[in-house]
Every structure is written in structure tokens, then in C-alpha cells.
Amino acid sequence: MVERRIFWITLGEQKHTATINLVPGIKVYNEKLVEKDGKEYRLWNPLRSKLSAAINNGL
């Protein structure tokens, strides 16, 4: 079974790519942290991450 590592988080009307934060409460690149269902997620910024931009554009 393949474990899912990239998630979609909806804030307001915008969808963001996110990953689970392995060290809750710690930011590395000043990214936004969101807590949902007892887990903390890091929101990817598509302007800083080429991978996030590609995922957001459907690649």
C-alpha cells in the first residue's frame, strides 16, 4: 500500500498543497502551519517551490 504524503488543505476558498510537519511547531522556511485532525501540516508556497507549482498546475 502506498502512503499518501502530499495533501490538499482548503483555507477559505483556496486549496493549498501541504505535507505533514514531522516536528510540530517548528517552521523552516517561514511557511504557514495548519492543524487539522490532530496533525500539523506545512503549506507549500508555489512561488517558492517548483514542485508545488507543478502540482498546482496539474503536472
In the three-class reduction of DSSP (H, G, I as helix; E, B as strand; rest coil), residue 54 is classed as: helix
Domains of the chain: 7-56 (3.30.200)
Quote the CA–CA distance of 51 and 5 in Å, as a whole number.
13
pLDDT tens for the chain, 59 residues: list them: 777 788 888 888 988 899 999 999 999 888 999 999 899 999 998 888 898 889 888 88
